[in-house]
Amino acid sequence: MKPCKADLVRKEVRKEVRIAVHIGLFLLFLLATVPAYCQRGTLDLNVGQVSDQFGALPSVSGAVVDINGQVAIFKANAKTGRPAIVGGGEIRAPFDTNQHAKELAVFGGVVFGAHNFSVEVDGEVRRIYTPPANVSGEIFNRSRMQLFELPVTLKYKFGPDKRAFISIKGEPEFTPHFKASSLATVALPNPGFDHGYMLRGSAGYDFGKWWYVKATYETRYFKFNPNDIGNPNNLYNWKSNLITGGVGVRF
């Protein structure tokens, strides 16, 4: 007996919750296993608005929550020139998942610092649950995307006691790995990838040793081959803009 759509939806939800829990446990694992003298991390909660446009469909906007965490597994050593080794993750949860994508990511990398300036290079795995499309009453369930990314982040601290900071993060997007939605009724080939990118700028201020505030703007673009049978009506082509503000803690 084939499972009904409700069973498939519940299965997908349980899977997504497990993945989010695993990312949270991953950060806790780093805190528990990395020696206290090595630890230096951040955890911030951000809320704001995301605007998405797929293909020629109208742009839609909605509220979003974005959680970011990072831990220095090994701190930098200025005497030897050793960079910091870091790991972390991100959970992005829009209020309306029928219009906006949920995202989960884990990463690890190195941070090189000199005076007020630092450069971070990461390897990141990101899973994007793209929302379904409603075209003239017909539902098109897009495949989930999994990406390997190589973001580079430039950060500069300035002002009294170096409490103010700005950062710029960017990356080219590589060919995604697709997994068909369990709700898809028609099997289509994967869309042919053309190009994509992500740019993110942040500005913030440290309040003492433990707390900070941050504002972020991000823009992202994916383009797939036009007139591709796997990209009907260019419904995988995606422009996204995100703006958030939040508060974080250092530990």
C-alpha dist (Å) from residue 33 to 27, 49, 125: 10, 36, 22
How far is it, in rounded angstroms, from Cα 219 to Cα 240?
A: 6
- pLDDT of 172 higher than 70: yes
pTM of the entire predicted model: 0.84
- pLDDT of 4 higher than 70: no
- pLDDT for residue 9: 44
5-250: which CATH topology? Lipocalin (2.40.128)
- pLDDT for residue 28: 58
Q: In the chain, count H helices and then E strands.
A: 1, 14
- The phi, psi pair for 4, rounded to 5°, reads -80, 170
- pLDDT for residue 100: 96
Beta strand extents in 34-95 (DSSP E only): 41-54, 60-74, 84-94
In this prediction, residue 2 has a pLDDT band, given cuts at 50, 70 and 90, of very low
- pLDDT for residue 15: 54
- pLDDT for residue 44: 94
Q: pLDDT digit string (tens) for 107-134? A: 999 999 888 999 999 999 999 999 998 8
**Conformation bin of residue 55: beta by default, left when phi > 0, alpha when psi is -120 to 50:** left
Residue with tokens 């991000």: 218
Kindly state the tokens that stand for 170. Answer: 């960017």
